[in-house]
């Protein structure tokens, strides 16, 4: 069967997974009466809840005697480690761009990787049926983007289609018949070359492992594209590391190929096809699986280095162990090592005491998803504030810089520019109108200046602004950046909070807890309205007497507390504070000090 391998690239929420749904439906991958969930490719619970693609996943469709393997790539730069590996498996890319928004940061990130690999793009202008769509402007912006990313003449001469993924149509002309996706299927078959590996069927078997996962029935499994040769179930092959060192030799127990949304066992894997192998015990991502006579490993794509680090530790608060079942440092370490094995974009280091672990990765969202997965598995953790990773070049301290693209109402643009360039040491790169009453701001800002900024940004723009960011490069250290400007309210007692006490504390600032909640000494229960920390007593009840007067016994009415999400809490804490994460709750607290140290700091401060 004629074969094509393509990846679909798009920014978050530009309709990539919805378009894949329609490709599957119109190719006949589903029965007519089959119940299929919307965004079927987003199989992970967190992906469905947040509406983003986190894990790269493959599927396969048949169209008029041709097989097309489609890889759905993550749209967020924090999960770029998935993208870089997956692009080595395909021969072409479909770039999906919102006709109203144009190419956005994550589009730029993934597209630069694809163009560097020499892949020829197909551009699909999606959502052209929206009232604010400007397909011609978006097309010009895509061309400019390709030129800025160093595309060659073949890549700049890209074909384009107008489409609506939700309505299930794509056409070569904007005013075409708008019936189905036939034009997209035909363009993929015409423009994307067949795998060049098909010519190497008679050579020894070689395959580069790009994704690792585990199946409860068949164990460890690796997915990748067969670079040369054939492989049958039961044959013995070996695994070579990136450096060419022999990892293990094993017998292939199963070969799985993508068929629609699922995988089906096949007897033989052939050069050019994307398959999953089972039977190994040590082989991992970026290893070469090959015939015993092969001596050289296939080149693996380098992964961009991590830019932030977070310390994961055991939960040592007085309320530890009440919600979770996995609380020991040994169990936490095993889980983190397992994650690092399959996710090459993160690194794990042990701290000297062995009770905590430094996890380095791409961004706050990536860390938030990892922590969220762990808490759902029953883990209890204490999490530090994210720290930016610096590096030295020729004796100069360098820090990561991110490109920030902001779309805001015109009235808020001055506030946003002041926060990004004034307080957070950013540099304004571009500012232009972006439609009716909107301004687009592009700035290059130090990564450490953006930690904790998103919540403040939403407040400044009354929730109407849209902020996207992507790693831009390294630059000399910009000097000190001011952190959180307000202090916190800290509980000085252990027990259950009392409504009367919280009512009296409301004038001191915003509260993070409500009445009848468990608190302990050192726990952060609110934000102080001033710049210093304040110890308060949330357990102090009303003094009772036998004297009664009109109006003194009215029910206390509390303002609803501020409930932070996991990412907001991690970005909010300062260096001397921690986030306590359990399966049921997220709390903030001060790092615990012994009483003598606390007294010494109190005298000094």
Residue 329 vs residues 310, 351, 550: alpha-carbon distances, Å = 16, 11, 57
**pLDDT for position 232:** 92
Rounded to 10°, the helix 105-116/135-148 angle is 50
pLDDT at 31 over 70: no
Q: How many other CB atoms are found less than 10 A from the CB of residue 142?
A: 21
**pLDDT for position 106:** 66
Measured distance CA(386)–CA(311) in Å, rounded: 8
pLDDT tens sequence across 267-279 = 999 988 889 999 9
Q: How confident is the model at residue 22 (pLDDT cuts 50, 70, 90)?
A: confident
Average pLDDT over residues 253-265: 85
Average pLDDT over the chain reads 83
pLDDT tens sequence across 379-411 = 999 999 888 888 888 888 988 888 888 888 888
CA 174-179-181 angle, to 5 degrees, is 85
**pLDDT for position 54:** 56
Average pLDDT over residues 113-140: 89
- Residue 215 C-alpha from the chain's centroid: 23
**pLDDT for position 423:** 83
Q: How confident is the model at residue 35 (pLDDT cuts 50, 70, 90)?
A: very low
Q: How confident is the model at residue 520 (pLDDT cuts 50, 70, 90)?
A: very high
Closest listed residue to residue 185, CA positions, set 29, 34, 325, 54 = 29
pLDDT at 604 over 80: no
Q: How confident is the model at residue 547 (pLDDT cuts 50, 70, 90)?
A: low
DSSP string, 361-391: ES-HHHHHHHHHHHHHTTB-EEEPPPEEPPE
Measured distance CA(524)–CA(257) in Å, rounded: 52
Measured distance CA(447)–CA(453) in Å, rounded: 10
- Residue 462 C-alpha from the chain's centroid: 25
More confident residue, 251 or 219: 251
Residue 295 vs residues 201, 229, 552: alpha-carbon distances, Å = 18, 15, 86
Measured distance CA(274)–CA(59) in Å, rounded: 10
CB of 203 closer than 8 Å to CB of 143? no
More confident residue, 419 or 544: 419
What letters, b where the CB count within 10 A reaches 16 and e where it falls short, cover 153-170? eebeebebbbbbbeebbb
pLDDT tens sequence across 305-346 = 788 899 999 988 888 888 888 889 899 999 998 888 777 778
**pLDDT for position 38:** 45
Q: How confident is the model at residue 524 (pLDDT cuts 50, 70, 90)?
A: very high
> Scanning the structure block, which residue is given the tokens 């001060």?
590
Q: Where are the beta strands (DSSP E) in 175-316?
A: 206-215, 219-228, 230-232, 236-240, 246-251, 254-259, 262-265, 268-270, 274-278, 288-290, 308-313
Q: How confident is the model at residue 188 (pLDDT cuts 50, 70, 90)?
A: very high
More confident residue, 91 or 211: 91
pLDDT tens sequence across 298-313 = 887 666 678 889 999 9
**pLDDT for position 21:** 81
Residue 94 belongs to what H/E stretch? strand 92-98
Rounded to 10°, the helix 364-376/329-342 angle is 130
Question: Residue 268 is encoded by which pair of tokens?
Answer: 């033989």
């Amino acid at each position: 069967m004629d074969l094509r391998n393509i990846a679909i690239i798009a920014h978050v929420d530009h309709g990539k997974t919805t378009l894949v749904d329609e490709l599957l439906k119109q190719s006949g991958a589903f029965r007519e009466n089959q119940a299929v969930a919307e965004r079927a490719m987003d199989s992970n619970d967190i992906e469905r809840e947040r509406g983003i693609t986190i894990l790269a996943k493959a599927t396969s469709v048949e169209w008029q005697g041709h097989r097309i393997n489609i890889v759905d790539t993550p749209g967020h730069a924090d999960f770029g480690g998935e993208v870089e590996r997956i692009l080595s498996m395909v021969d072409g890319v479909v770039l999906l761009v919102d006709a109203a928004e144009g190419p956005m940061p994550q589009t730029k990130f993934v597209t630069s990787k694809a163009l560097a690999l020499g892949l020829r793009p197909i551009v699909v202008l999606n959502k052209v049926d929206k009232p604010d769509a400007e397909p011609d402007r978006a097309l010009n912006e895509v061309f400019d983007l390709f030129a800025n990313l160093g595309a060659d003449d073949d890549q700049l001469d890209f074909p384009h289609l107008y489409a609506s993924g939700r309505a299930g149509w794509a056409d070569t002309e904007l005013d075409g018949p708008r019936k189905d996706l036939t034009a997209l299927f035909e363009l993929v078959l015409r423009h994307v070359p067949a795998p060049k590996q098909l010519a190497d069927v008679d050579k020894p078997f070689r395959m580069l492992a790009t994704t690792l996962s585990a199946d409860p029935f068949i164990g460890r499994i690796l997915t990748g594209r067969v670079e040369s040769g054939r492989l049958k179930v039961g044959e013995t092959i070996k695994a070579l590391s990136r450096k060419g060192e022999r990892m293990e030799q094993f017998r292939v127990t199963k070969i799985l190929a993508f068929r629609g949304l699922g995988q089906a066992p096949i007897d033989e894997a052939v050069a050019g096809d994307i398959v999953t192998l089972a039977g190994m015990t040590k082989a991992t991502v970026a290893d070469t699986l090959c015939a015993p006579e092969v001596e050289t490993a296939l080149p693996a794509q380098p992964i961009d280095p991590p830019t932030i680090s977070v310390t994961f530790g055991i939960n040592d608060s007085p309320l530890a162990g009440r919600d979770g079942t996995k609380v020991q440092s040994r169990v936490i370490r095993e889980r983190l090592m397992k994650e690092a094995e399959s996710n090459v974009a993160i690194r794990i280091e042990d701290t000297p005491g062995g009770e905590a672990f430094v996890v380095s990765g791409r961004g706050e969202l990536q860390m938030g998803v990892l922590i969220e997965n762990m808490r759902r598995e029953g883990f209890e953790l204490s999490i530090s504030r994210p720290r930016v990773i610096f590096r030295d070049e020729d004796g100069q301290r360098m820090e990561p810089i991110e490109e920030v693209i902001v779309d805001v109402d015109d009235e808020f643009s001055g506030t946003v520019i002041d926060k990004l360039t004034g307080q957070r040491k950013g540099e304004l790169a571009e500012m232009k109108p972006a439609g009716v009453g909107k301004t687009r701001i592009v700035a290059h800002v130090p990564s450490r200046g953006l930690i904790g900024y998103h919540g403040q940004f939403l407040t400044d723009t009354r929730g109407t602004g849209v902020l996207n960011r992507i790693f831009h490069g390294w630059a000399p250290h910009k000097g000190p950046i001011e952190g959180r400007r307000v202090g916190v309210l800290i509980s000085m007692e252990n027990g259950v909070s009392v409504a009367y006490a919280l009512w009296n504390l409301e004038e001191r600032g915003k509260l993070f807890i409500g009445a009848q909640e468990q608190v302990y000494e050192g726990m952060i229960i609110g934000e102080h309205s001033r710049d210093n920390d304040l110890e308060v007593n949330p357990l102090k009840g009303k003094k009772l007497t036998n004297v009664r007067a009109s109006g003194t016994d009215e029910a206390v009415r509390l303002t609803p507390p501020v409930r932070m999400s996991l990412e907001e809490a991690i970005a909010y804490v300062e260096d001397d504070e921690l986030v306590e994460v359990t399966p049921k709750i997220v709390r903030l607290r001060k790092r615990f000090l012994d009483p003598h140290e606390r007294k010494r700091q109190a005298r000094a401060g």
